[in-house]
Structure 1
């Protein structure tokens, strides 16, 4: 009789231990599923951003289509709203830049026209004169201060114009027109 009681206690103890393990494993499974969804969303947004950047690079054309594995991973979890908004802003800026940047003008005189954003920025600085202006103020004046992606596009364009000696950097985050 004593061995039956001991066996029953051993079975009960083992069942309790397994119940605790099951609960711990369920929590761990849920945490891993959330982490996988976050990683998958980040992977998708990074892949889209990379595709946009590759499309902007001269001579590379559009990036290769994502592999079936990448497509399956992206479909597991959709990006969060801020990531989706950022990806949309990047894609919009890329489409605008690739549609207009670096084309020869219609007159065929060998000069090139600039992207719409570049032209808007240069026109803004032509009116601003020798005034020092912050990138955020330029973005605001051009109606491109709706999200960080648009403001960053203005900042990038300002930096390219400084590199091309079309604008001057007047200080940290400050720009001014080049005076002849």
Structure 2
């Protein structure tokens, strides 16, 4: 049992501790609100950019890429491990070729499908695919691979075998 003289002191110490916690929690709440506002703003900008890109992709596939659009797509080298030598490699319907045979559109999709043709029935992570394609330099490149993998799952060109795991469709 707490004596009568210690009770006010204990209550005062508890109140002081709670005031410190309150101040700390208020600062944490403000920091989280700022972070949430930044995330919401970034989410909105990513959604707008994605909508614009998807509209551009629809326009490009319907009308074919213009010369300016074809020049805007970087010509990335195909990874060494992702170039199967047989003619049974899956063709990418999104890929168009100009007179010189250079790829213009759908290059990432084509590279991913070629990669899956080489790994057979192994389960692979998006990060592993990005690394094999030389696209693991930053989170944006890895996310582009993830988005393409999700699109390929949606069109049943590859399978999702678990959380973050992908596998080639059986032939």
Q: Normalized against structure 2, the TM-score is what?
A: 0.49
Higher fraction of helix:
1
